[in-house]
Amino acid sequence: MNIEAAASILAKIKPARRKRERYRQRDEMQHRVIPLLPADDRDKFERAMNRHFRL
């Protein structure tokens, strides 16, 4: 999986209203997507996730 595919998955997810649910969504994405990314793209995607979920 490349960073563009991972970013498109992230763009399709609408963050939940409650902070607890946003953390749950982010954790689920971390376990599903980050292990599939190349090592040099993992940090970039994790920062994008934190911005997307406003954490």
Integer Cα distance of 12 and 53 in angstroms = 12
- Give the global pTM: 0.73
Alpha-helix residue ranges (DSSP H) falling in 1-55:
3-12, 19-32, 39-52
In a 10 Å sphere around its CB, with 0-12 CB exposed, 13-18 middle and 19+ buried, how is residue 49 labelled?
Answer: buried
pLDDT band of residue 54 (cuts 50, 70, 90) is confident
pLDDT in tens, 5-50: 888 888 888 888 899 998 999 898 889 888 999 988 999 998 998 8
Question: By the 8 A CB rule, do 29 and 13 touch?
Answer: yes
